[in-house]
Copies of this chain bind each other. A is one copy, B any other.
Amino acid sequence: MIAIKFLPAAREIRVPEGTTILQAAVKAGVPMESTCGGKGTCGKCKVQIVQGIAAPATPTEIKHLSSAEREGGWVLACQQVLAQDAVVRLREQKDVYQRKTDFKSGGQTALAPSIHKYFLSLTPPGVEDQTPDWERLTQSLSLGEIAFSRQVAASLPKVLRQGNFQVTAVLEGKQLLKVEAGDTTERCFGVAVDIGTTTVVVYLMDLNTGRAAASGALTNPQQVFGADVISRITHAAGGPDKLGELQEKVVGGLNEIIARLCREKGIEKEEIYQAVVVGNTTMAHLFLGIDPTYLAPAPFIPAFRQMVDVEAREVGLDILAGARVVVLPNVAGYVGSDTVGVMLAAAADRLTGISLLVDIGTNGEMVLAGRGRILTCSTAAGPAFEGAEIKYGMRAAEGAIEGVSIGRDVELKIIGGGQARGICGSGLIDAIAEMFKAGVIGPSGRFAGEAQELEPLPSALRARLRKGERTSEFVLVWGKDTLSGEDLVLTQKDIREMQLAKGAIIAGIRILAKEMGVNPAEIDRVLLAGAFGSYIKKESALGIGLLPPLSLERIQTIGNAAGDGAKMALLSGEERERAKALAQKAEHIELSNKQEFQNEFLQGLDFRRTEG
């Protein structure tokens, strides 16, 4: 057995010889960025060997690491097989969510949580009144018959006597969740949870005030099994053990955040009485430990889609064991409760005119609401928008290029203001829109190469265009201004990845419009949801033809609307019912089943503004 320690968390684990660093990290529960699931194609799992000896670099490592990096002890965790004890340091990762916990809540939700606390002053029993404890308590609630709870009854005798028969009962409807000694009505919490394929977010909500007490985010620890939902489903299809692994990973991540938030705010986990969860359909299956195998192949059949609620203990969520965990309903295999959360937060059932909701994450979901209908579709937007499959792609974290403008030369906006480490989705759209405007790439997405294409370019831009190892590339940042010291480039392949992603999205939007019988130009408002939607420059999105050609003022960003929807559903039982109705009303359009989709997709690859 070999000992390996991961910095900065200093987590240590013993593994058999022959284990890769990535496998060891998975086993130790150390969150490590890896979007290919250890296949060696993404190059994201960089770690630095601080103690111990690295094996000679593999061809894969030579491809993904600069020689400076390799000399500095940097390796790919998926490539290095451990032969002796080692200490490795993970790359620093400041998640963008941690810098912006100030998302505005969904707004006008009337505070009407289904959790109620009742302070009770009971008459103690005596030989003339042998009423059992359960009856004594529940009869004093005057709510009719309360469903029996073995868990609450188990410790009820002690709690009643600890509190001298002065206790607080915590109820959800007619379900008694907990009895606390004394008067605790002042303290009442719940969590809203947004499980993204890439990032999981927890909002700790005060159910007495409706305000977020705190929130926190983490990379979805399932990431080690691959970046996209298909690789997660493939892993889960390996059997109940594998499915269990994925379930434990994500719940473990949520529990880590919950523990941290509770510590920060001086709250006991047992004071969290309810959870509302949103996520895409695959994430909902995995969170609940339900086999998602048949979501992957056509005809993409989920095991369930309705609103589900389970006890926290059943899924291992570390809040009050008997608390109900509500997972909002899904619409279809690839339109999940996160999209329902977006619809809820955007009030898709109350908007006038024609509204387009776009939530681009690892997948892209689109909702077109109008004419009394709600239509949904989804496309494998590809992880391009989140930086995967892009040579220098990264998530919107410190060091990421998030804005690009091109005039005589390239100007950048970098998260945190320091040296560039890579480029995130919004930066990429900016870069491509500007490159297209400047003539660095043509409408088909090909880099300028012919003399008549190169000639009009400013010399500074011409200097940035060059042949790379395999394909052409454009130097976005020269090595002197990057953290690694090497040139940061966009390759022809990067452009193609983005083209495929945006082509699928605009095609989906056009199919929805056609289904509703409206012209895309008639859309009254476009609401961009998600972290990506919040950062995207609207001009650039229009510039590359990601959205239909609409005037800028019709386009709004609405922040992490999926999470806002979860909060609303936590704060109001009525909003939960509305979420249910929204999911039922939604008509899902399966794009893979539409002949015209291929045609729209091919047309959508073009960077020219799509005509209405």
A residues contacting B by CB (< 8 A) are 125-135, 148, 150, 153-158, 161, 240, 243, 288-291, 293-294, 298-306, 308-310, 314-315, 332-333, 588, 590, 592-593
Contacts and interface: CB of A to CB of B under 8 A. Distances in A.
A300 B304 CA distance: 48
A315 B150 CA distance: 10
Given A158-B291, A308-B150, A590 B301 contact: no
A125 B299 contact: yes
Contact of A153 (B150, B304, B590): B304
Given A154-B288, A154-B291, A157-B293, 14 more contacts: A125-B299, A126-B299, A127-B299, A128-B593, A130-B333, A130-B588, A131-B301, A132-B303, A132-B304, A148-B306, A150-B290, A150-B314, A150-B315, A156-B303
A294 B592 contact: no
Contacts of A308: 148, 150
A153 B593 contact: no
A130 B303 contact: no
A132 B305 contact: yes
Q: Which 10 A-B pairs have the closest CB atoms?
A: A134-B304, A127-B299, A132-B302, A157-B291, A132-B305, A154-B290, A133-B303, A125-B301, A150-B310, A153-B290
Given A148-B306, A291-B158, A301 B134 contact: no
A247 to B, nearest CB: 10
Contacts of A332: 130
A303 B153 contact: yes
17 contacts: A126-B299, A127-B590, A127-B593, A129-B299, A130-B300, A130-B333, A132-B304, A133-B294, A148-B309, A153-B288, A154-B290, A154-B303, A155-B240, A155-B291, A156-B291, A157-B303, A158-B291
A514 to B, nearest CB: 19
Contacts of A150: 288-290, 308, 310, 314-315
A314 B291 CA distance: 23
Nearest to A243: B154
Nearest to A306: B148
Nearest to A315: B150
A315 to B, nearest CB: 8
A298 B131 CA distance: 13
How many identical chains are in the complex?
2
Given A157-B294, A288-B150, A289-B154, A303 B125 contact: no
Given A290-B153, A592-B127, A135 B299 contact: no
Contacts of A127: 298-299, 590, 592-593
Contacts of A298: 127
A301 B133 contact: yes
A24 to B, nearest CB: 29
Nearest to A330: B132
Contacts of A288: 150, 153-154
A299 B315 CA distance: 40
Nearest to A592: B127
Nearest to A588: B130
Nearest to A304: B134
A298 B125 CA distance: 10
B302 A133 contact: yes
Nearest to A133: B303
A167 to B, nearest CB: 14
A310 B322 CA distance: 13
B130 A304 contact: no
Nearest to A131: B301
Contacts of A156: 290-291, 303
A135 B592 contact: no
Contacts of A314: 150
Given A158-B291, A289-B154, A134 B303 contact: yes
Contacts of A592: 127
Contacts of A333: 130
Contacts of A130: 299-301, 332-333, 588, 590
A16 to B, nearest CB: 28
Nearest to A145: B306
A251 to B, nearest CB: 13
A368 B133 CA distance: 27
Contacts of A294: 133, 157, 161
Contact of A301 (B157, B158, B243, B315): B157
Contacts of A300: 130
Q: Which of A125, A156, A294 counts the most B-chain CB atoms under 10 A from its CB?
A: A294
A441 to B, nearest CB: 37
Contacts of A129: 299
A13 to B, nearest CB: 29
Nearest to A311: B150
Contacts of A158: 291, 293
Nearest to A294: B157
